[in-house]
Amino acid sequence: MKQNQQFNIAGIPIQLLKRSPEKMTGLNLGEKLSFEFYDGIFKGMNMLFVKPKGKNPTPRKCEIVAGRLSQLFHVPVVFILLPGPTYERQRLVEKDIYFVMSDKYANLPMFVALERVTSRKMPDRLTPVAQYLLLYHLQIESIEGKSIRAIASMMPYSYESIAVGLTCMTDIGLCEKVNIDWRTKAFRFKSAGKQLWKDAEKFLINPVERRYFCDSIQSSQTFPICGINALAHYTMLNPDSEQWIMMSAKESRELINGGNIVNPNEFDGAVVIETWKYPVVSRLQSSPQWVDKLSLALSLRDDDDPRVEDELENMINSIQW
Domain boundaries, given as residue ranges, for the chain: 4-109, 128-203, 208-315
- The dotted CATH code for 128-203 is 1.10.10.10
**Range scoring the smallest mean pLDDT among 61-65, 188-192, 204-208, 257-261:** 61-65
Can you tell me the distance from the alpha carbon of 204 to that of 172, in angstroms, rounded to the nearest whole number?
Answer: 11
Reported as half-sphere exposure (CB side, CA atoms, 13 A), residue 95 has a value of 20
Predicted local confidence at residue 86, as pLDDT: 79
Report how far residue 315's alpha carbon sits from residue 298's, in angstroms, rounded to the nearest whole number.
Answer: 12
Let me know the angle formed at the C-alpha of 206 by 201 and 208, rounded to the nearest 5 degrees: 160
- C-alpha 10: how far from chain center: 20
Q: Which amino acid is at 221?
A: Q
CB atoms within 10 A of CB 222: 9
Q: What's the confidence (pLDDT) of residue 115?
A: 45
The phi, psi pair for 273, rounded to 5°, reads -110, 130
With residue 293 as reference, give the H or E element that holds it: helix 293-300
Q: Using CA atoms, how far apart are residues 308 and 126, in angstroms rounded to an integer?
A: 25
Residue 149 CB contacts under 8 Å (≥ 6 apart), including other chains: 96, 159
Taking only the tens place, the pLDDT of each residue in 277-291 is 999 999 999 999 999
Burial of 316 by CB count in 10 Å (0-12 exposed, 13-18 middle, 19+ buried)?
A: middle
Counting Cα atoms < 13 Å in the Cβ hemisphere of 284 gives: 10
Pairing of β 77-81 and β 98-101: parallel
Please write the tens of the pLDDT for every residue from 205-237.
999 999 999 999 999 999 999 999 999 999 999
pTM: 0.69
Q: What is the mean pLDDT of the chain?
A: 90
**Burial status of residue 187 (CB atoms within 10 A of its CB: 0-12, 13-18, 19 or more):** buried
Contacts of 161 (CB under 8 A, 6+ apart): 129
Query: Distance (Å, rounded) from C-alpha 260 to C-alpha 310?
Result: 36
Strand pairing category for 12-18 and 35-42: antiparallel
| pLDDT greater at residue 9 or residue 131 | 131
Kindly report the CA angle at 168 between 163 and 172, in degrees rounded to 5? 145
Tally Cβ neighbours within 10 Å of residue 195. Answer: 12
Contact present, 187 and 110 (Cβ < 8 Å): no
The band of 113, judged by pLDDT with boundaries at 50, 70 and 90, is: very low
